[in-house]
């Protein structure tokens, strides 16, 4: 085969592949490959076409900006096409972009607007005489779909514009997206209902926006930020940054993190800053966008095929990548739950090498039909544990066997049990199982429990494997001579560990209860139990009825507590621990009426103190914390970057406390108790 025939074949194969992926992404909302992989295919095609211009045809996906609308909704023609953006992935490529702009404008430095690149769907909203006339998707860039009904369900979309001097026709463009929290909620619900989950917030937003029934869209909680203009009957301003300000006056939410920046160094610094914030933002972004600020300069620079020359997207490393599932192993948790874990071919995902990822549970493996040997999409977003999103079925070789959960525990060989109606399989070995023992000990010494510094995972593994400790009480019998013999343990660190063990003996009742690792008894429940019963004796004597009298304790938790304390082995460990010298001062009986009794708070946004700490402090004063704002709430505690709860609280006329007011509230009452 001649070289040119070979290249033509490659180009055609890439076009077919890209067209297929476009169809799955835009029409079916069901992409088969991660965006990063798509970008690579697309770039390869761009490079091949650039080197071989003779093969370029107008049909090539590089000449188009998306895919044709699916046809469920009425079509809408965009008078001004909705274009895409070129991408850069490195400082060097960004430098080239800035250089091209400088040279063409004969201006140095150039003023840009930098914005986050929101990971959702582009939409356009047309306002006529101040009212929303219609809204449409991007579609293929020229023709989109009429999604007015669904757009109207988004609270952040003004149906009527506010303020003065509005052009008769005002078309604004922006990104519809789903927050990380709304996405997690939606998928939790889907799992509970046995429905299909969405792979990421962007797919979830796309699926929600293209619902035929706006009622379904409404409950999905979409959001929108506006970042550009379409058609306008009167020029609004001379610069993009001024337009964004003006849009706020008319009732649109400000585009967060937007900044006017001059020159390359500023752009680079902006990229670094936003990359650092990425995981803390309540919504997903996949990069930042730089736009030349002055409209006159934008016009002068113009467009190349599908993208403007005056703007560029600077992409972050992708959250999703492709890997090979080499094996599925079973991990045993503290309560015996067996979690299937994927062993993967090492792959870099958003800058970190991933070799393991969770497969959640057997239901998920079956539902997603994931098999060993599959090519899989893996996803790692922020602090979340990496997960296997799905298998790429097109790349499966032959018919590998379906994975089945072993009938016995891989660690202790005890029988494996599945409780009716639960998704989890459990090892029935209890503390006989060394995996459960290790986890229970790790929990016992953890920071929020007995807080024994220096007794890390590796040390516990060795102590259990060498049968030096079995129960938490054994920790208090450890001697210097035993510890120094362990790997990674010098004389000095053995001293420090013994000191930490000694110090941990002085604790509090809630910490001790939490450390015991009773199922479903987290920190907050431990605090409630301690407040209610005041002494361990009282708690040990409590029956079901009395347990149900504790705020926030339901029948399931009550049952777990009763069964824990009815186990002679557990009672023996507790008395051994007390004999070893673990003690706490008795909780003062709470005053008849706790200061915040009967009050209910909702928390939103980021607080300076960990949210859990704030919760506990409020609970300790008798308050209740709930997740949803309703008319019953006493006040909303709003930290940095509050969510939609703030708007809702304002609508309902509920008090709003900022962090200083919260501190004052806690301070006043903590001093009185």
Q: Which is nearer to ligand IVH, 117 or 239 (CB)?
A: 117
Note if 492 is an active site residue.
no
Classify residue 233 as exposed, middle or buried by CB count within 10 Å of its CB (0-12, 13-18, 19+): exposed
Give phi and psi for 533, each to the nearest 5: -95, -20
Smallest distance from ligand IVH to CB 532, Å: 50
Dmax (CA) of the chain: 92
Smallest distance from ligand IVH to CB 303, Å: 8
Q: Which is nearer to ligand IVH, 138 or 390 (CB)?
A: 138
Q: Which is nearer to ligand IVH, 83 or 574 (CB)?
A: 83
- The catalytic residue among 5, 9, 117, 470 is 117
Q: What secondary structure letter does DSSP report for 606?
A: B
Rounded to whole angstroms, the Cα distance separating 423 from 430 reads 19
Rounded to whole angstroms, the Cα distance separating 505 from 492 reads 21
Smallest distance from ligand IVH to CB 85, Å: 4
Smallest distance from ligand IVH to CB 577, Å: 55
Q: Are 636 and 645 in contact (CB under 8 A)?
A: yes
Q: Are 299 and 660 in contact (CB under 8 A)?
A: no
Closest residue by beta carbon to ligand IVH: 122
Q: Are 183 and 198 in contact (CB under 8 A)?
A: yes
* Alpha-carbon distance values, 432 to 275, 390, 427, 437, 504 (Å): 46, 35, 10, 7, 26
Smallest distance from ligand IVH to CB 282, Å: 15
Give phi and psi for 495, each to the nearest 5: -60, -50
Question: Which pair of structure tokens corresponds to residue 377?
Answer: 């999409």
Smallest distance from ligand IVH to CB 281, Å: 13
Smallest distance from ligand IVH to CB 175, Å: 5
Instruction: Tell me which residue of 352, 359, 285 sits closest to 316, measured CA to CA.
Output: 285
What residues line the site for ligand IVH (CB under 6 A)?
Answer: 83-85, 115, 117-118, 122, 175, 227-228, 289, 308, 311, 313
Q: Which is nearer to ligand IVH, 227 or 514 (CB)?
A: 227
Q: Which is nearer to ligand IVH, 177 or 444 (CB)?
A: 177
Q: Which is nearer to ligand IVH, 302 or 346 (CB)?
A: 302
Q: Which is nearer to ligand IVH, 309 or 448 (CB)?
A: 309
DSSP-derived secondary structure for 431-484: GGSHHHHHHHHHHHHSTTTT--TT--HHHHHHHHHTTS-SSHHHHTT--HHHHH
Beta-bridged to residue 356, according to DSSP, are 343
Rounded to whole angstroms, the Cα distance separating 390 from 396 reads 12
What positions carry a catalytic annotation? 117
């Amino acid at each position: 085969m001649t070289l040119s025939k070979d290249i033509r074949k490659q180009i055609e194969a890439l076009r077919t592949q890209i067209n297929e992926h476009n169809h799955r992404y835009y029409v079916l909302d069901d992409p088969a490959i991660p965006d990063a992989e798509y970008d690579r295919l697309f770039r390869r095609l761009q490079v091949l076409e650039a080197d071989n211009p003779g093969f370029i045809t107008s049909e090539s996906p590089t000449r188009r900006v998306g895919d044709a609308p699916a046809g469920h909704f009425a079509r809408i023609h965009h008078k001004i096409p909705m274009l895409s953006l070129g991408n850069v992935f490195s400082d060097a490529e960004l430098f080239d972009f800035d250089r091209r702009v400088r040279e063409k404008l004969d201006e140095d430095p150039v003023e840009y607007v930098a914005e986050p690149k929101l990971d959702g769907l582009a939409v356009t909203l047309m306002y006529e005489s101040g009212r929303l006339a219609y809204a449409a998707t991007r579609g293929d860039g020229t023709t989109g779909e009429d999604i007015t009904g669904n757009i109207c369900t988004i609270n952040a979309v003004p149906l009527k514009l506010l303020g003065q001097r509005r052009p008769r026709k005002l078309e604004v463009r922006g990104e519809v997206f789903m927050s990380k929290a709304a996405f997690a909620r939606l998928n939790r619900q889907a799992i509970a209902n046995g429905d299909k989950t969405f792979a990421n917030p962007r797919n979830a937003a796309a699926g929600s926006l293209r619902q035929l029934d706006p009622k379904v869209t409404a409950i999905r909680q979409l959001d929108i930020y506006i970042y550009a203009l379409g058609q306008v009957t009167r020029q609004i301003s001379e610069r993009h940054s001024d337009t964004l300000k003006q849009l706020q006056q008319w009732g649109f939410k400000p585009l967060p993190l937007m900044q006017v920046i001059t020159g390359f160094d500023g752009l680079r610094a902006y990229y670094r800053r936003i990359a650092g914030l990425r995981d803390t933002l309540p919504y997903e972004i996949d990069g930042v966008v730089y736009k030349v600020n002055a409209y006159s300069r934008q016009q002068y620079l113009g467009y190349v095929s599908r993208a403007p020359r005056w703007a560029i997207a600077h992409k972050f490393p992708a959250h999703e990548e492709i890997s090979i599932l080499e094996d599925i192993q079973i991990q045993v948790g503290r309560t015996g739950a067996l979690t299937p874990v994927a062993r993967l071919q090492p792959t870099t995902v958003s800058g970190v090498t991933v070799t393991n990822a969770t497969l959640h549970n057997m239901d998920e493996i079956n539902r997603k039909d994931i098999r060993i040997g599959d090519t899989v999409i893996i996803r790692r977003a922020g602090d979340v544990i990496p997960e296997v999103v799905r298998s790429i079925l097109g790349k499966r070789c032959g018919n590998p066997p379906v994975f089945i959960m072993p009938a016995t525990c891989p660690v202790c060989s005890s029988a494996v049990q599945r409780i009716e109606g639960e998704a989890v399989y459990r090892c029935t070995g209890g503390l006989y199982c060394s995996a459960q023992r290790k986890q229970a000990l790790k929990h016992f010494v953890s920071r929020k429990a007995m807080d024994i510094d220096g007794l890390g995972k590796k040390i516990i593994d060795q102590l259990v494997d060498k049968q030096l400790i079995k129960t938490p009480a054994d920790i208090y019998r450890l001697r210097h001579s035993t510890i120094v013999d362990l790997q990674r343990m010098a004389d000095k660190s053995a001293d420090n560990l013994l000191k930490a063990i000694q110090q941990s003996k002085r604790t509090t009742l809630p910490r001790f209860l939490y450390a015991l690792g009773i199922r479903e008894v987290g920190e907050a429940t431990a605090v409630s139990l301690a407040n209610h019963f005041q002494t361990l004796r009282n708690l040990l004597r409590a029956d079901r009825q009395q347990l149900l009298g504790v705020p926030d304790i339901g029948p399931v938790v009550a049952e777990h507590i009763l069964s824990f304390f009815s186990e002679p082995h557990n009672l023996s460990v507790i008395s051994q621990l007390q004999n070893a010298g673990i003690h706490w001062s008795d909780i003062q009986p709470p005053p008849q009426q706790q200061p915040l009794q009967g009050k209910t708070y909702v928390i939103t946004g980021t607080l300076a103190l960990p949210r859990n700490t704030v919760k506990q402090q409020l609970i300790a004063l008798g308050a209740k914390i709930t997740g949803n704002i309703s008319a019953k709430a006493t006040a909303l505690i709003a930290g940095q970057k509050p969510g939609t709860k703030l708007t809702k609280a304002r609508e309902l006329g509920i008090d709003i406390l900022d962090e200083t007011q919260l501190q004052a509230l806690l301070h006043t009452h903590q001093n009185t108790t």
